[in-house]
Amino acid sequence: MTPLTIFGDFNCPFSALASARADVLLNDGAHTIDWRAIQHDPAIPPRGEPVEGDTATELAAEVATIADLSEHDVRLHLAVPAVRSNTAASCAVFAGAVDNADVLRRRLFAAVWVEGRNLSDPVELDRLGAGAGDLVVARTWQDEFEALPRPITPTLVLADGYVSRGLGALARLADLAGGG
């Protein structure tokens, strides 16, 4: 099996598409996925921030782009959430997930992009069954991401160390899954 590492943020619609395409690769059985949850915008306030004005316009355009990009493979339809989450806590709980990491990854993306939940809220994370976090692993992933040249989400690292970012990473994932 070919190992792939993906850095993505739960509040990034492009990372949500990378997650859906990662699931296709997992299902085909030829790849392993090391998903590393990171914050692409650590400046978001700890409790999150309302999605309004320019942010709402930008996210609506990104969601429309995701619908177009996924039309021929995973057909992802996202909704703009009312709050942009600070994902530090969700990154930590994901880092602490051992047995159910892929299920939790899917659940956290759905919570934001389908249900509009605020992952900044510890009560929401508890409702999602997120479990205990691992701050050390989450910090390691964040440091690795920030050390990459031009860190943007999603970032895909191939087995040979080649780094693909953003739309390039999404295209590479689609190609690997046979949908590109």
Q: What is the pLDDT of residues 68-87, one digit of tens each?
A: 999 999 999 999 999 999 99
Mean pLDDT, rounded, for 107-119: 96
For all residues of the chain together, what is the average pLDDT? 94
- At 179 the pLDDT is 56
Mean pLDDT, rounded, for 129-147: 92
Is the pTM above the cut of 0.85?
yes
Distance CA 175, CA 121 (A): 36
pLDDT of 180 > 60? The answer is no
How far, in Å, are 30, 57, 153, 171 from residue 137 at the CA level? 26, 34, 18, 28
41 residue type, one letter: D
pLDDT of 143 > 90? The answer is yes
Which residue has 């493979």 as its token pair? 73
Distance CA 71, CA 69 (A): 6
Residues 160, 162, 166, 171, Cα dihedral to 10°: -60
- At 99 the pLDDT is 81
Which residue has 């860190």 as its token pair? 151
Domain 2-176 has CATH 3.40.30.10: yes
